[in-house]
Each structure stands twice: as structure tokens, then as C-alpha cells.
Amino acid sequence: MKKKRFLSLGILLTVSLFIWIPLWMMVTSSFMGTQEINEMIGPVFSNENKLATWHFIPDFPTLKPYVELLLDSPNFFVMFWNSCRQVIPGLIGQLFIAVPAAWSFGRYNFKGKKLLFILYIVLMIMPFQVTMVSSYLVLNKFHLLNTDFALILPNIFSTFPVFIMEKFFKSIPKSLIEAAKIDGAGEFKTFFYIGIPMGASGIISAIVLGFLEAWNGIEQPLTFLKDKSLWPLSLYLPDIAKEKLGVAMVASVIAMIPAILIFLFGQKYIEQGIAASGIKE
């Protein structure tokens, strides 16, 4: 048994290196000077017949890339604010649209329920490239292209959070709902005082996953936003030139921090959502 455990641990550690090495390279490169980082990965961005190299720790650590980005790059803060302005309202909107919809799917039986839920699943698994044209035409018809609402509204009506939350609402014991009705609780009180508290894990996990997807979105902003002043932070890095690779790494680190914090906050809820472990009567 011990040998199997050590073998499993060794395999997991080996696999995890493939995840942590790129992160370590990104963080360490954010403390490198322009000359050092260009010497190491410059050949990747040019036609030089050389191999890229890497230092596990910077030879000459410096905070110059951080100073240049945070003090001399106002566009970075504009795009950071654009990301917040486009992502957060969409997540708030999901609470008003997806939560009641998931509660309805999880607790009520109505005609066409299965067919409608299958439609939700189909829409969820469709890649953006499939729905891009239709979404573009709808947004154009309502004159929402090249505005923040071009990203906010599709996020509000996303079907993915409904799929996640429905499992949690469905797992609430029927006896608890019946007891609330006996005590005189109506549909709204049952939803607010039983459904939301007991389905909090599903709600939070859906919001966390929705934040990660929207925060790192690239295709939607590129398709629906023509004005670069509206671009989110996820589109900041492609404009970084070779001479500012250090700044690009710093921007990547800072852009990653909100996603990491949100993920750490909701990690246990995401695990519960994946496991879909229900409450048994």
C-alpha cells in the first residue's frame, strides 16, 4: 500500500510540474530586466537561429517592469477597469436570471421541462464560434455592438450557471420544502429562506466559474468591441512588443491575481459542484 501511495504521489508531483513551471517562469520573468529576458526568450519572437533558455531565478532581479507598468502605462488601468465593468455586472445579472431559472428546473415539474433543459445543455456546450454570427446580428439589431452591454448581456443570460445550480436545488430534501409549506411559507419565502441558503454552494461555484471564463475571455471582446478604449485586460497582452516582454509578464501576473483569489475563495464550492453531491433525506 505504501509503495502505491508513493508511486501515486510521485506521478501527481511530476504532472503538477507541467502546470507550475509555466507559472514560475511567468512570475520570475516579471522581475527580469529587458536585456536578460530578451536574451533568453528573444529568439522565440525573432528569426534568430538560437534556442530559447531560462534561468530558474533571475540573475539581476529588478522591479523596473512593475514600475513601468504601474506608473507609466495608463492603458493598463483603463483595460483593468474595463474588465471589472464588463464582468461584474454580468455576474450580478446572473443572480437575478440564472438562480430563479435553476430553482424552477430543480423544484417544479411543468410541461416541456425536459426538452427545455436539454436545449439549455445544447446551448451550453456550443462553442462561441457556432453562435458568434447569430449573437453579432442580435447585438447589432439592438445597437449594442461596441458597447459594454455587448459582453454583459450574453453573460447575464448564460446557460452554464443554470446547469450548475439546478443540481444543488434539486438535491434539497422534499420533506424540508413540505415542512416550510406546512408552516405557512409561500413560494417566494421558500425560495429565499430555504432554496438560496441551501443552494449557496452551487450559486457560488457557478459565479466563480463564470468569473474565470469572463475575465479571461478573448474571442467575444475581439468580435463585439471595435473601439480599443473598450477592450478588457485580456486583450492588453497581444499589443505588447518584444522590447516590453518584462512588462507583458508583469501584466500577466497582475491579471492573474483576481482570478486566483476568486478561485481560492470558491475552490471548495467548485469541488462540490463537480462532485454534485446531493443532500439525502
Q: And the C-alpha cell for 31?
A: 522581475
**pLDDT 10s digits, 114-167:** 899 888 888 888 888 888 888 899 999 999 999 999 999 999 998 889 988 888
List the single range of 41-45, 64-68, 259-263 with lowest mean pLDDT: 41-45
Give the pLDDT band (50/70/90) at residue 278: very low
In this predicted structure, what is the pLDDT of residue 93?
93
Q: Which residue has the higher pLDDT, 91 or 202?
A: 91
Encoded amino acid at 267, one letter = Q
- For 119, phi and psi rounded to 5 degrees? -60, -40
Q: And the C-alpha cell for 35?
A: 536585456
DSSP for residue 230: G
Share of the chain above pLDDT 90, in %: 20
